[in-house]
Amino acid sequence: MIKADVWDDRKCELGEGPASAGKNNQRGYWVDITGKKVLWRDLDTNKTGEYSVDEEIGFVIPRAQGGELIGTTSGPYLRDTDGAMHALPNRVDVDGPGEKFPIRWNDAKVSPTGDLWLGTLTAEFTPGEAALYRLDRDGSKMERVISDVTLSNGLDWSNDGKTMYYIDTMKFTIDSFDVEGKNITNRKVRYTANPDEGFPDGMCADNQGGLWVAFWGSGEVRRLDENFKVSEIISVPAMFASSCAFIGPDLDILMITTAQSSGRAGDPFDDGEHAGKTFTCKPGATGRATASFAV
């Protein structure tokens, strides 16, 4: 078993959405969803920074031209390097006004075709009321692709781009889809977690065909090999491991976010020394840089 070490001491209420950025992928970004913040740290200099937003924020993704794409509740928005914000198509454009339940964005990633895939959840995890959407690579159009989701979470693609992996956390499953252009078909359940493992949350793929999955509630990140068997376990000294991403010039450092709480009333709270901090380790695999959004 590999042990993750504290990389950043700042405690997030609900740390999530790690991403690599910068010329050598030396800068790690992440969000504090309920703390309404975007945070970053530089591997080379150890400099840190953060900025606040007005709403809960589900994800941050680097933009190719500088700045970030951020998933606030009413977003997504393009954020320029000077802090200026530009609205993109959102759920209202797709589903119409008047959501039945409070909904926010959660995990998101840019696909090999350059499109942004982004999912939602309701404040109370209402079964079947969330969805997975796709925003075209030029930022012009958003579509709902998968409905009847409860908690849209981790996603990534195989190295050849022909398979997409996806987690709907409350189903305890990791699924695959065949990719045809920008479309997905042929959904299959590839792994079903035992509740003792915790809830499968965020994930990222490595260059060796494996998936690194953060398991909420067990303080672990587990690697699934190409046969979807657990081949490695990382121990994280915080109960609520939430997601992970490869960073660094060699992309051999796994950055892991954690939380103190889900932010939902009545849910468990981790008051441990390291809860909500951000961790790193070298897992013996290399991954891919976070894909940036072209606009």
Residue 237 burial (10 A CB sphere; 0-12, 13-18, 19+): middle
Average pLDDT, integer, range 31-40: 98
**The Cα angle at residue 57 between residues 99 and 197, in degrees rounded to 5:** 95
Percent of the chain with pLDDT over 70: 100
What is the pLDDT at residue 268?
A: 92
What is the reported pLDDT for 265? Answer: 81
Q: What is the mean pLDDT of residues 92-101?
A: 94
Domain-wise residue ranges, the chain: 2-281
Which residue in 107, 168, 201, 206 is the catalytic one?
A: 201
- Average pLDDT on 190-211 reads 96
Query: Does a cis peptide bond (omega within 30 degrees of 0) precede residue 76?
Result: yes
Residue 294 has pLDDT above 90, yes or no: yes
Q: What is the pTM of this model?
A: 0.97
Q: Which of 189-193, 261-265, 270-274, 281-285 has the lowest mean pLDDT?
A: 261-265
* Strand bridging mode 2-3 / 230-235: parallel
Quick one: 24 exposed, middle or buried, by C-beta within 10 A (0-12, 13-18, 19+)? middle
pLDDT digits (tens, 9 = 90+) for 262-275: 988 889 999 999 99
For residues 270 and 261, the answer to whether their CB atoms sit within 8 Å is yes
Across-strand partners of 240?
216, 259
Instruction: Specify the fold of 2-281.
Output: Neuraminidase (2.120.10)
Q: H helices then E strands: how many in the chain?
A: 1, 25
Residue 247: name the closest of 39, 2, 27, 15 by CA.
27
Annotation says 201 is catalytic: yes
